[in-house]
Structure 1
Amino acid sequence: MSTTSVYAQEKATVDIGGALRFNYNNSTWKDAQQKRGGDLGFDVFRLNAKAEYKGLKLNAEYRFYSESFGGAMLKQGWIAYDFNENDELQFGLTQVPFGITTYNSNSWFFSLNYYVGLEDDHDMGLKYTHQGEKWDYSLAFFKNAEELQFGNNSDVSNSRYSYDVASISNSDGNLILRNKEVNQLNGDLSYKINNTNAKHRLGVSAQYGGLYNIDTEGIGNHYALAAYYELKAGKFGVKAQIANYKYSPENPDGERDDVVAMTAYGAPYLVAAEASIYTLGLSYSIPLEWGPVSNVVIYNDFGYMDKAESSFESSMMNVTGAMFTAGNIYTYFDLAAGKNQPWLGSEWTNALAAGTPDADWEMRFNINVGYYF
């Protein structure tokens, strides 16, 4: 990471960094890929910029994926003012304060929450955060998700990092379920218990906002609630969360409202309009002296999605893996298993909605290698 300093009345700093990552995967539902012994290719190149001067801050991350995965996109980008060492106001494309942050997971795959827009989500708005000795809280207003086109009736772009409500094409190639997230309020409150043996965090989150339908020009609503617990006891870690969400769109007559379309990485899919998600992540950190390798974290992340519609099949996901640290290189070895999970099976569009009855567990062995600078 390089640092450039400019001196005026006070010191201003600009830090430029980034990462280059490659990915190998071998999936049970891809017969030809298995015959090839899996595939190794480019994952992402990213640039990070941070700046600070007199309490004013900048934080931005721009990512470059292949065209089929959405191409170039801004993951996050915000400016902020630090009132003091405990209180900060951010403006721009900033992380939504919902559930366990920064990540409710340990693996490269994240948890099921990510795939329905409830983990590491970033939206456009204002966020105030306070970090105290015992209590942390965040309050936020998001005008909308990433808006890239600014047209009167523009659909949400598929080129984005985090999942948001969007539109999807039907069998005739026409866009349907054309909704957008608007005017969203978020609140998060957590309590910390720190002692010599362990650090605990207990928290609750709430989210409420509108859903603007491009065709009807009506505004529906959506909400999400979460309760969570984090533990760090020496080398051992726990992340546990229960979340519930519901989308109530104002769709045109004849369009279903038991699902919504969501999109990221270049392609939309359907998601159940109401569900509860249960996640549990366990991790253990082991220091090593193995050549350049200094540490390995072994982990298991499990998620279960219980959909409110009784005819819909539940979705499940489990990732067992290890993350190795060697200087600036971080490598994830993951064995990911999924049932009715679009990224872990042959069914893409309906996996997180109706799903497939009697779906088999599918598996993907994945290695992600990244150099961070």
Structure 2
Amino acid sequence: MRYKELVLLFLLATSIAVNAQSEQEIPKVTVGGALRFNYNYSDWKEGSKDRGGDFGFDVFRIDVDAAYKKIILDAEYRFYSKSSGGGMLKSGWLGYAFTPQDEIQIGLTRVPFGITPYNSHSYFFQINYYVGLEDDSDMGIKYAHKDTKWEYSLAFFKNAEELDFGSASPVSDSRYAYDVAGSNKENNQLNGQLYFSFGDQYIKHRLGMSAMVGGLYNIETGRNGNHNAFAIHYELNVKRWDLKLQLASYEKNPKNKEDDPRDVVVMTAYGAPYAVAAKANLYTAGLSYTLPVDMGPISSLKFYNDFGWMDKRVKQFKDSFQNVTGCMITAGGVYAYVDYALGKNHAWLGPEWTNAFAYGGDSNSWHGRANINLGYYF
């Protein structure tokens, strides 16, 4: 009898261990997303002024995070209106976590450049975003390390998002972040990013630098040009205050046809391309203050001002500017950005679309846009 009891006890313990192991090996999947609406009043649009602005659908998005042992997955798909590019994969990658501090990512992964994840506080991002140097993701492989003091990333990107594999197919306009387009395509790009964090529980500093170099393949000439960028950046957090400072410089040297200009390049996102100066320096500064409140469902108010200057390295070009003053209101899963954005020679903040970030607009004057973006995140 004692022998049978021992056998039963052993079988029971083995069953419990196997079940526990099986439970640990079950893939973990988390699904989230957001639904956002947008109101804007643009002072350079007579129709917008006559109607008192417009309010409509912005985006619906689905986020998926998954993990199985040390294998991880991260993906975000967005649905915009047809005129804004329609459906698009913002990012999506498969990874492997060697340790809690080290992982490798393969797929459409965030480009490690500048202050990440965002060099901004507002709905509009910083001016860097509009020339492809903020919150951009490309197709490649990235190694990332992060501990309490040091963060660094090394990445190789074969190309930007590729939706058509024809040998002479131009880049699709349906994308979330700006990439070189028209007759040129980004390819074989190397990125490096380094951060050092220091301070204490009251004052925190984050100092970093980023670099990028890659090719620009021209589908008409079959020749490879090149592009590069460099940035130094600093972040300071003192209690409720947050400061972001960045200096960046980029240069794009396409191998276009002889009669095509080389001092501008075409970039595209959200279904609509425009021209951008091929060489420029970018100076940005952003400051925010977060105020905890108890106002019904509202738990915090974040006040901010983000300023950006695009200093074009061609004397005949008119520089571009952006300044956004606003407040982010948080109420559980609801976030609202209330912004007043000013722009000068800015495609999204003024009447000139095609050449604002290149030669500049005809008026060379400031224009304003009052904007409210309301979203529920789940």
Query: Which range, TM-score by smaller chain?
Result: over 0.9
Which residue in 2 is equivalent to 1:318? Answer: 323
Q: 1:176-215 maps to which residues of 2 (within 5 A)?
A: 178-215=183-220
Which residue in 2 is equivalent to 1:249? Answer: 254
2:226 aligned with 1:221, yes or no? yes
Which residue in 1 is equivalent to 2:8? Answer: none
Name the SS for the 1:313 alignment partner: coil
1:33 CA displacement: 1.0
Which residue in 2 is equivalent to 1:97? Answer: 112
Query: Structure 1 CA distance, aligned partners of 2:302 and 2:361?
Result: 34
1:109 CA displacement: 0.2
2:155 aligned with 1:150, yes or no? no
Can you list the C-alpha shifts for 1:63-97, whole angstroms capped at 9, x where unaligned? 00000000000000001100001101000001000
Name the SS for the 1:152 alignment partner: coil
Can you list the C-alpha shifts for 1:265-288, whole angstroms capped at 9, x where unaligned? 000000000000000000000001
Can you list the C-alpha shifts for 1:216-268, whole angstroms capped at 9, x where unaligned? 00000000000000011110000000000000000011111000000000000
1:12 CA displacement: 2.3
Normalising by structure 1, we get a TM-score of 0.95
Q: 1:1-373 maps to which residues of 2 (within 5 A)?
A: 7-167=22-182, 178-356=183-361, 359-373=364-378
Name the SS for the 2:47 alignment partner: helix
Name the SS for the 1:68 alignment partner: helix
1:128 CA displacement: 0.4
* Partner amino acid, structure 2, of 1:47: I
Can you list the C-alpha shifts for 1:100-148, whole angstroms capped at 9, x where unaligned? 0000000000000000000001000000001123211000000000000
* Partner amino acid, structure 2, of 1:67: K
Query: Structure 2 CA distance, aligned partners of 1:200 and 1:320?
Result: 24
* Partner amino acid, structure 2, of 1:231: L
Name the SS for the 2:27 alignment partner: strand
Highest CA radius of gyration, 1 or 2?
2
Count, aligned residues? 358
Higher helix share: 2
* Partner amino acid, structure 2, of 1:345: G
1:196 CA displacement: 2.7
Name the SS for the 1:32 alignment partner: helix
Name the SS for the 1:52 alignment partner: strand
Can you list the C-alpha shifts for 1:166-195, whole angstroms capped at 9, x where unaligned? 01xxxxxxxxxx000000000001111121
Name the SS for the 1:344 alignment partner: coil
Can you list the C-alpha shifts for 1:38-72, whole angstroms capped at 9, x where unaligned? 00000000001000111111100000000000000
CA contact (8 A) 1:270 1:352 kept: yes
* Partner amino acid, structure 2, of 1:35: D
Query: Structure 2 CA distance, aligned partners of 1:326 and 1:135?
Result: 33
Query: Structure 1 CA distance, aligned partners of 2:235 and 2:327?
Result: 19
Query: Structure 2 CA distance, aligned partners of 1:372 and 1:235?
Result: 23
1:152 CA displacement: 1.4
Q: Which moved more, 1:362-371 or 1:29-38?
A: 29-38
* Partner amino acid, structure 1, of 2:56: G
Query: Structure 2 CA distance, aligned partners of 1:194 and 1:52?
Result: 33
* Partner amino acid, structure 2, of 1:139: L
1:11 CA displacement: 4.1
Evaluate the alpha carbon distance shift between residue 67 and residue 358 of structure 1 in structure 2; reply closer, same or farther with a 3 A threshold. Answer: closer
1:9 CA displacement: 4.9
Name the SS for the 2:129 alignment partner: helix
Evaluate the alpha carbon distance shift between residue 7 and residue 21 of structure 1 in structure 2; reply closer, same or farther with a 3 A threshold. Answer: farther
Normalising by structure 2, we get a TM-score of 0.93
Name the SS for the 1:114 alignment partner: helix
CA contact (8 A) 1:313 1:357 kept: no
Structure 1: segments with no counterpart, 5+ residues: 1-5, 168-177
